[in-house]
Amino acid sequence: MRIDKFLWSIRFYKTRSIATEEVKKNRISIGEVTVKPSKEVKEGDVIKIRKNQIDYKIKVIQIPKSRMAAKLVSLHIKDVTDKEQHELLKLRKMAQDYYRTRGEGRPTKKDRRDIDGYVENDIPSDITDWDDFFGENDTPEEAEKDL
């Protein structure tokens, strides 16, 4: 089976054309040799894949006949990636900013619920005199005690 079709069939890439492009960009190698998209994959080959700045290594156990279900992938390949690469991937995922930067559009529903929950929980319900709440009527001595 061709390397691009193999990478697509084991669900390493979403489409076969993406897999072909990655092979053409020399991000895929069998052993230590970079390959072309038409390179045939054999059982026992160790494929080195550079994806998202991580170097994955997979060993071919069995050649699939076509694209398969995600649960069956482990029957056809074995992940032999270094532990350091997996740790690097975990660190990168944790370091990503969860929230959008300023100016990237409207808040999502989750952001909106968080904002509403923050505003509702921030104001005590027993406050009736706002001047006392903000401390505007405090004497300088009372203001120093609050600090």
d(CA 131, CA 147): 17
Q: Model confidence at 68, in pLDDT bands (50, 70, 90)?
A: confident
Structure tokens that stand for 63 in this block: 């050649």
What digits encode the pLDDT tens for the residues 69-111? 888 888 888 988 888 888 888 887 777 655 556 667 777 788 7
- Degrees, nearest 5: CA angle 30-37-87: 50
How is residue 85 annotated by DSSP?
A: H
Phi-psi region of 12 (alpha: psi -120 to 50; beta: other; left: phi over 0): alpha
Task: Provide Rg for the chain, Cα atoms.
Answer: 28
Sheet holding 28-30, edge to edge: 33-34, 28-30, 46-51, 54-60, 77-79
d(CA 132, CA 147): 15
d(CA 27, CA 48): 8
Structure tokens that stand for 70 in this block: 């995600």
Domain boundaries, the chain: 3-95, 109-141
Regarding pTM above 0.75, the answer is: no
Q: Model confidence at 29, in pLDDT bands (50, 70, 90)?
A: very high
Q: Model confidence at 145, in pLDDT bands (50, 70, 90)?
A: low
Topology of the domain comprising 3-95? 3.10.290
